[in-house]
Amino acid sequence: MAQLALDLQFRPALGRNDFVVSDSNRDAVTWLDRWPDWPNRILAIHGPAGCGKTHLAHVWQTRSGARFVTEIDAAQLEAGAAVILDEPAVTAPATDHPDDRQTALFHFLNRLRELQGSLLLLHREAPARWPVELPDLASRLAAIPAIAVAEPDDTLLAAVLSKHFADRQLTVGDDVIDFLVRHIERDFTAAATAVTVIDQAALSSRRRITLPLVRQVLAERPSED
């Protein structure tokens, strides 16, 4: 009978020294290191889901003391504030008026400039491509430096997988990492999920994390099609 795996939490490292730099994210890292020397103290990082945008934001948060905000509310800003907006909604109406979110974002940007604050925007698309209807907001968004982060290459994905295992104090062979790089989806979310599932399977079966176990775990995972 399989042993019941306890739901033990672990603390992933999010500091700058733990972030792996590769060709897919090098430009973004370079721009984050330039802060506060950003045009108007605003920077946008864009790329597909799972490419590491949020991890980059945590790196900047550690350095700047920034906070994630969920509501675009200019009244909540303070002098010199450093804030992070993750996938801000600019098209869905906040009330019965479709332009409310866009107007709120426009005032938010204006107020941030007045207070000499800093803003990091995270989105799948560059701000210049957001479907906004307010000309003044469109102009502001088009002026924001937008740095793309690509899907991780083999080197980066291997490093991220190794990091997730290390965060759980697990040691695995290179053959396991190589196999996962070739057989999981090419994004950071998939890497984190795969490591979690493999760790739970190893705990339940009281087995070491070896290539045969990893093959079995991936084969038993339900198809996402």
Q: Which architecture characterizes domain 152-220 according to CATH?
A: Orthogonal Bundle (1.10)
pLDDT for 13: 54
- Higher local confidence (pLDDT), 7 or 92: 92
Structural tokens at position 19: 């972030």
Place of tokens 């479907």: 131
Q: Is the pLDDT of residue 210 over 70?
A: yes
Share of the chain above pLDDT 90, in %: 64
Cα 198 to Cα 81: distance, rounded to the nearest angstrom: 41
pLDDT tens sequence across 144-172: 999 999 888 898 899 889 989 998 999 99
Q: Which residues pair with 123 in a beta bridge?
A: 46
Total Cβ atoms within 10 A of residue 25: 26
Q: Is the pLDDT of residue 95 over 60?
A: no
Tokens at 114, concatenated: 């007045």
The pair of structure tokens assigned to 176 is 């396991």
Residue intervals of the chain classified under CATH 3.40.50.300 are 25-148
Fold (CATH) for 25-148: Rossmann fold (3.40.50)
Q: How many CB atoms lie within 10 A of CB 184?
A: 17
Residues 6+ apart with CB under 8 A from 167: 10, 11, 12, 13
Question: What are the start and end residues of each CATH 1.10.8.60 domain in the chain?
Answer: 152-220
What is the tens place of the pLDDT at every residue in 31-80?
999 999 999 999 999 998 888 899 899 989 988 999 999 889 999 899 99
Place 138 in a pLDDT band, splitting at 50, 70 and 90. very high
Question: Which CA distances in Å does 152 have to 71, 186, 187?
Answer: 30, 6, 6
From 18-27, 38-47, 102-111, the region with the lowest mean pLDDT: 18-27
The secondary element (H helix, E strand) that includes residue 86 is strand 82-86
